[in-house]
Chain A
Amino acid sequence: MTEGITTPGQGWRRAGGSDVAGDGVRAYGDGAGRRRKGGRRGGRRGRGGEVPMVEEAEFTSYYGRPIIKPPVWKSPDVPLYLFLGGAAGSSAILGALADVTGRPALTRVSRLTAGGGSILSVVFLIHDLGRPERFLHMLRVIKPTSPLSIGSYILAPFSAAAGATAAVELLGWFPRLKRFGGAVSALFGGPLATYTGVLLANTAVPSWHAAHRELPFVFGGSAMAAGGGITMAFTPVAEAGPARKMAVTGAAIELAVVHRVENGHGVVSEPFHTGRAGTMLRAAKACTAAGAGLTVLAGRSRLGAVVSGTLLAAGSLLTRFGVFEAGMASAKDPKYTVVPQRERMAARAAQNGHASTVSR
Chain B
Amino acid sequence: MTSVSSASPAFTGKDPENRLFGPLPDVQGEAGYREDHPARVGFFTDTSVCIGCKACEVACKEWNTLPMDDSYGTRDTLGLSGMSYDNTGQLGANTWRHVAFIEQVRTVDLPMPTVGPPPDAAASRRDGIVDAPDEAEPGDSVVTAQTSVLNAEALSEFDPQTSQSGDREIRWLMASDVCKHCTHAGCLDVCPTGALFRTEFGTVVVQGDICNGCGYCVPSCPYGVINQRKGDGRVFKCTMCYDRLTDGLQPACATACPTQSIQFGNLDELQARADARLETLKRQGVESARLYGRDEDDGVGGNGAFFLLLDEPEVYGLPPDPIVTTRDLPAMWRSAAAAAAMMVGVALSAVLGSRRR
**A interface residues with partner B (beta carbon < 8 Å):** 1-16, 20, 42-43, 45-46, 49, 59-63, 65-73, 89-90, 93-94, 97-98, 101-103, 128-132, 134-135, 137-138, 140-149, 151-152, 189-191, 193-195, 197-199, 201-205, 209, 212-217, 219-220, 223-224, 228, 238-239, 241-246, 249-250, 253, 331, 334, 337-338, 341-342, 344-345, 357-360
Contact = CB atoms under 8 A, between A and B. Distances in A.
Interface of B: 5-11, 20, 81, 83-84, 86, 89-90, 92, 100, 102-109, 112-113, 117-118, 121, 152-153, 155-156, 159, 162, 167, 169-171, 186, 189-195, 210-216, 218-228, 232-235, 281, 285-290, 292, 295, 297-298, 310-322, 325-326, 328-329, 331-333, 335-344, 346-357
Contacts, number: 367
Contact of B325 (A70, A130, A209): A209
17 contacts: A11-B108, A20-B83, A66-B224, A69-B227, A72-B218, A93-B347, A94-B350, A129-B214, A137-B193, A138-B193, A141-B193, A149-B192, A189-B343, A197-B336, A198-B329, A209-B328, A246-B347
B346 A224 contact: yes
B219 A67 contact: no
Given A130-B215, A195-B336, A198-B336, A148 B190 contact: yes
A203 B155 contact: no
Nearest to B84: A63
Contacts of A194: 335-337, 339-340, 343
A359 B313 contact: yes
Q: Please provide the 5 A-B residue pairs with the shortest distance between their CB atoms, ordered closest to farther.
A: A130-B213, A130-B233, A62-B317, A190-B340, A241-B354
Contact of B336 (A145, A191, A344): A191
A45 B112 CA distance: 14
Task: Name the prevailing secondary structure of the B interface residues.
Answer: loop
A146 B190 contact: yes
A203 B325 contact: yes
Nearest to A103: B357
B106 A11 contact: yes
A245 B139 CA distance: 87
B322 A224 contact: no
Contacts of B222: 68, 204
A219 B339 contact: yes
Contact of B314 (A67, A142, A144, A360): A67
B322 A341 contact: yes
